[in-house]
Amino acid sequence: MKYFIGLNQDNHAPISNGNVLAWIQQYDIGCLPVDKISQFFFPNFDLSSAMFDTPGSYVLAKDHNEKIWYDPYGMVKEKLGQIGEIVSINNTQYINGYGIYEVVSHKGNTVVKTKTWAPPFQNSLIRSIEVKTLRNNASTVTIYPVVHLKNVVQRKDNIFISRISENQWLATTVSPTGEGLTGEVPIVVTQGPVTIFEHSLIPVPLVFTVPDQTISQKQYSQPIYQVFAAGATKEEALQQLNDTLLTVRQSEQQTLQSWEKWHQDTINIGTLPTPLDYYWTLSNTVAKMSMQKDGTPIIIGFKPYQGNVWIRDSLWIASSLALSGHYEDAIDALYATLSYLIERPDGNYYFAYNVVTRLPNEHAFENDTTGLILYGIWQVWSLVKDRTIINDLWPIIDQSTEWILTNRDASGLIFPDAGIWETFGPHLDENFEHMTWTSAISAFGLLKAAEMADAIRENEKASRYRQGAFELLQAIGKHNVHNGIVCRSKETKLLDASVTLFFSEFPLFPKEWLSPTIKAIQQRLQDPFIGGIWRHESLTTEEGDLKPWTGPTFWFGEALLANQETDEAWKYFYHNYHNSAFCGLLPELLYSKGRARGIGMPSYSQSGVIRSLLFYYNLFHRDDLS
């Protein structure tokens, strides 16, 4: 049950170096197969930073010995026999699991291989294009890199400059140099009359015509490099373009080496069997790619979430980076995430922000933020062992603990909220509930805050925190657990998959609750058609309920490991791997077999690979730098 990315047009394979972000897809609207860069972002990983016009950038090619064009959109109508065949997507991968995305596709006898990457420390993106024949015969081919720009404000020889806003400029060209022509693509490539104007206010299709390429038997042609460079000024964009062009032929290898060096810091997990080794490497890569250059972890790849800084997801990414051994990145991600915090009137923090405005943009009411903050800070500190982290962040630690201790009602539980899935509240015509998740992560956060308080000799506060955690756990046991089954909330006996985390990653619940809860979840949250675990038992929204989620399926597998059911756990882990895209990216959830939503989520889904493997190899709960 593998698939290529883009059947759901909200899904994209991300490529990032922190400075820029690109989206890659294998389908256009209407499920038309096409290998394209659908969007390019600068200076933020936000939709407002989009640089391309629809449909982005793609390739046309003409084998001089064939009447069939490699033409994904069927635009060229030159000879009989060439119309109707779609492009066949053959393979996609992140090379070695690193940040270079390769696509192999063909139409007729023409095979096209593209590789796309963002060179380290530059505001640029490179796509190499190579062509061979399917029958492995020698031939000659003309390659036409295409990009749809929002405008053209200036050209310098064959460099084209686009101005998106006052501080967003794009410069693009190809290497070896080729003539750039603007106009309707099928007319340009067949050398017809071009009538479109290069105008600063209208979208412009741009086609580069490069010198003919010779194809040897069984060999690809020499690569053509399509280069995009961004800047806050026109001069910066041009400088970035020229700097990238200087080493364009060495850039792929330099980028691979940069990623290889970064992965040398990844914790040694031992020799993993294929393809787990690829999923492990790629998931660490995606976590790194989610970080903007200021350290902010962003949800990348899924359009509806693009540009959101969710404290929960960002702390999940930061803690996963710490767990996998990338301590400097984890510290940067932690500090960047916490820099967004704005207090609510009740003293808690808003849980969602826009990356550009840094203003709250939440749509639900959550009370779990303080507990997650405490866990996130502790997870990084516990591995890095730098007391400066506690000292720097103590005001946030103190604020978070005090909020938890003083915001419990007569039940002893944290005040009602919408829950981890943000679905129980007036915004969806539901009621807030005393969520097990919220009180449990608050209790776990208090326990970890106590460890940090002890480290700086705030022993009296540490005792208060531990007492508060004990009281929360007692309240959960009294109101939210029935016959040993941990339920979603005080108000219902329905289930929620998030409770399984408190038997594994966040060990808090007593062992006697584990087996009854596992049994109940298998009976009531396992999808009867696809397999995998639903996030919860209610139907609050058709977007995500009663469908298998990747994160909860990993969490349930970890709970099975905690219950010494290793073989059963791996059935659930492999369920997730079997439902990945061909390139190894995992979905947030599945609508049906092969129909994914939320590809490449660096938090629950892709980080689930990292966290579940560490848990399996007994490397999750550790407190030293080894």
The string of pLDDT tens digits covering residues 466-502 is: 999 999 999 999 999 999 999 999 999 999 999 999 9
Could you tell me which residues are beta bridge partners of residue 533? Answer: 526, 549
Segment 263-290 mean pLDDT? 97
Instruction: Look up residue 545 and give its two tokens.
Output: 């309920």
Q: Pseudo-torsion of CA 442, 444, 445, 447, nearest 10°?
A: 130
Give the number of C-alpha atoms closer than 13 A to the C-alpha of residue 6, restricted to the C-beta side.
Answer: 24
For 459, the 3-state DSSP assignment is: helix
Q: Answer for the pair 363, 417: CB distance below 8 angstroms, yes or no.
A: no
Whether the link from the prior residue into 176 is cis, omega within 30° of 0, is yes
pLDDT band at 83 (very low <50, low <70, confident <90, very high): low
Neighbour count for residue 564 (Cβ, 10 Å): 9
Of the candidates 235, 301, 259, 293, the residue with the CA atom closest to the CA atom of residue 20 = 293
Is residue 369 predicted with pLDDT exceeding 70? yes
For 454-464, the pLDDT digits (tens) are 999 999 999 99
Q: Would you call 407 helix, strand, or coil by DSSP?
A: coil
Tell me the mean pLDDT in the region 246-255.
98
- Contact criterion met (CB below 8 Å) for 582 and 92: yes
Q: Which of 4-18, 60-74, 99-113, 443-457 has the lowest mean pLDDT?
A: 60-74
Give 3-state DSSP helix, strand, coil % of the chain, rounded to 5.
Answer: 35, 25, 40
Question: What percent of the chain lies above the pLDDT cut of 70?
Answer: 98
Comparison of pLDDT for 79 and 242, the residue scoring more: 242
Residue 159 clears pLDDT 90, i.e. is over it: yes
Tell me the Cα Rg of the chain: 26
Confidence of residue 82 (pLDDT cuts 50, 70, 90): low
Q: Quick check: helix, strand or coil at residue 514?
A: helix
Rounded Cα distance, 187 and 194, in Å: 7
Q: Where are the alpha helices (DSSP H) in 169-247?
A: 185-189, 234-246
195 — pLDDT class (breaks 50, 70, 90): low
Residue identified by tokens 């990983």 is 45
pLDDT band at 78 (very low <50, low <70, confident <90, very high): confident
Averaged pLDDT of the chain: 95
More confident residue, 624 or 344: 344
30 has a pLDDT exceeding 90: no
Q: Which residue pairs from 509-516 have beta carbons closer than 8 angstroms and sit at least 24 positions apart in sequence? A: 509/440, 509/473, 509/476, 510/477, 512/484, 513/481, 513/484, 513/485, 513/486, 514/559, 514/562, 514/563, 515/484, 515/563, 516/483, 516/484, 516/485
What CA–CA distances, in Å, run from 406 to 72, 402, 435, 466?
61, 6, 17, 14
Domains and CATH numbers, the chain: 13-260 (2.70.98.10), 281-616 (1.50.10.10)
Residues whose CB falls within 8 Å of the CB of residue 223, separated by 6 or more in sequence, listed in order: 128, 129, 130
Cβ contacts of 268 within 8 Å, gap of 6 or more: none
Placement of tokens 């390139």 in the chain: 583
Return the pLDDT at 143: 97
**Predicted confidence (pLDDT) at residue 625 exceeds the cutoff of 70:** no
In this predicted structure, what is the pLDDT of residue 593?
82
Distances (CA, A) of 365 to 278, 307, 432: 38, 20, 9
pTM over 0.85: yes
Q: Which two tokens stand for residue 223?
A: 């690569």
626 pLDDT tier (thresholds 50, 70, 90): very low
Q: What is the DSSP string of 603-618?
A: THHHHHHHHHHHHHTT
pLDDT at 493: 98
Q: Give the pLDDT confidence score for residue 192 in this predicted structure.
A: 81
Looking at residue 201, its pLDDT comes to 81
Contact 25, 611 (CB under 8 A): no
Task: Among 83-87, 133-137, 355-359, 536-540, name the one with the lowest average pLDDT.
Answer: 83-87
Asked whether the bond before 297 is cis by omega within 30 degrees of 0, the reply is no
